Amino acid sequence: MTLSLPFDNSYSRLPERFFTPHPPTPVADPTLIALNVDLAREIGLDADALGGPEGLSVLSGNAVPEGSFPLAQVYAGHQFGGWVPQLGDGRAVLLGEIASDGHRRDLQLKGSGPTPYSRRGDGRSWLGPVLREYLVSEAMHALGVPTTRALAAVSTGETVLRERPLPGAILTRVAQSHIRVGTFQYFAARRDVEAIRALAEHVIARHYPEANDPWELLDAVIDAQTDLIARWMGVGFIHGVMNTDNMSVAGETIDYGPCAFMDAYHPDRVFSSIDQFGRYAYARQPDIAAWNLAQFASALLPILGQEKPAIERATEMIHSFPARFGDRWLAIFRSKLGLATEDPGDADLIGSLLDRMASGNADFTLTFRGLADRSARACFSTPEAFDQWAEVWAARAAREKTDEQTRIDRMASANPAIIPRNHRIEAVIAAAVGGDYAPFHDMHTALGTPFADNPDFALPPEPSEIVEATFCGT
């Protein structure tokens, strides 16, 4: 193989109980659906070579390049609040780490066949979840939300059995790492203090070199999650499965399963077909992040100290999350309203708008985008409710003495015009299953510039197009 990838695999140098060496399972007839050329070049890869026959062999799992150390990571986790003592990469293989331009990134194949952690699953992905994750993760990146990214999508030429036979596909995912809260929980549950310490040292060296000890690591992860969840809230994103095994300690959005962006706003909005009790509803995401962080702190206790002073200090740090999150959330939503200064009444002003949006069935994205061009009123089933709020907003904005164009520009850069709407994604998947990838490529291009006006992709769904539930795909 002449294709060269600059691997430097630090995770594989950890003790063997952190993973199982495991190659991807070859597929019958791979075809390249999409290659993220810009991302390939950003991480120092030869995009032309990746798009060629040897690159396709690597991206499909049919060949393991020199320097790769394919493995499946082990972890545990709380899933919908219930403890599962062993999980792991059940349908993914980490090819290795690409070290370039001072950064280290995982290169992972998702849907690449069964592993020792598959739990009776087939280890494969069908085409729909691959295209969904490709589109949504790249949209999140363009929106400025920390996220794993999609390097490539490949069809396998094989059939995957779910509710019915479906075309198979593999996603190549790029991440700062795939280390999760559940990775720490796995070793904490086994009272493996040596492994917890080794993992903490690895995460500090890889993600938080400014942290001098595990206490500072905990503080850094709290900060990273504070920023991440506040950014989710600012774009109306619902992750759908905020289990501790889906929470990256690097502070990236990871594992796009039944995720969704809201159309009409409601704080209790849920899309995930498996979230029957609304545990991961839009407005509950900050609370769940705090709960997950508490599990992370608990997993660190064996190296933080298990005496009362250490427990109290860790508890105090977790209890700081609501205030940290509130400050970050306010900053994001102030920008969405075009406000540059702080005012004690801003939380009430924002909350009042959201309440009126919920009762008025107003589209989340179009309402905030419409504040700049005075079209927001049309999003409400009861426009007079918006009018009342707009008077208070205008008075608050006037106190800043900022010229109107500056405020409009601020809102235009804070409020996207287009998001990956559910009905659009479903239409893309349906077309792709039928062999037509043009809608996928069109949508991917549009989502690359989310703050540019694009009427075709900005439209909300018609009543007959509304997607009420999204699915995991496993």
Whether 54 and 162 share a structural domain:
yes
Whether 219 and 78 share a structural domain:
no
User: Quick check: is 57 in a domain?
Assistant: yes
User: Quick check: is 434 in a domain?
Assistant: no
Q: Residue 470 has what pLDDT?
A: 84
Choosing from 277, 300, 330, the residue where a domain stops is 330
The encoded tokens of residue 418 equal: 């287009």
Whether 152 and 185 share a structural domain:
no
User: Quick check: is 286 in a domain?
Assistant: yes
Choosing from 136, 151, 175, the residue where a domain stops is 175
Whether 248 and 128 share a structural domain:
no
Cβ atoms of residues 84 and 76 within 8 Å: yes
The encoded tokens of residue 94 equal: 């980490």
Whether 195 and 251 share a structural domain:
yes
Whether 220 and 113 share a structural domain:
no
Whether 226 and 291 share a structural domain:
yes
User: Quick check: is 413 in a domain?
Assistant: no
User: Quick check: is 336 in a domain?
Assistant: no
User: Quick check: is 33 in a domain?
Assistant: yes
Instruction: Classify strands 82-84 and 92-100 as parallel, antiparallel or unpaired.
Output: unpaired
Whether 21 and 168 share a structural domain:
yes
User: Quick check: is 3 in a domain?
Assistant: no
CA distance 40 to 32: 15
Whether 192 and 151 share a structural domain:
no
CA distance 383 to 370: 13
Whether 102 and 195 share a structural domain:
no
Number of neighbours of residue 304 by Cβ within 10 angstroms: 22
Domain extent, residue 21, equals: 11-175
User: Quick check: is 42 in a domain?
Assistant: yes
Whether 148 and 216 share a structural domain:
no
Choosing from 296, 330, 364, the residue where a domain stops is 330
Q: Residue 120 has what pLDDT?
A: 87
DSSP annotation of 165 reads E
Does the annotation mark 275 as catalytic?
no
Which stretches of the chain drop beneath a pLDDT of 70? Answer: 473-474
Whether 102 and 35 share a structural domain:
yes
Q: Residue 473 has what pLDDT?
A: 65
The encoded tokens of residue 338 equal: 């075009």
CA distance 434 to 1: 34
pTM: 0.96
Catalytic position from the list 106, 227, 245, 255: 245
Number of domains in the chain: 2
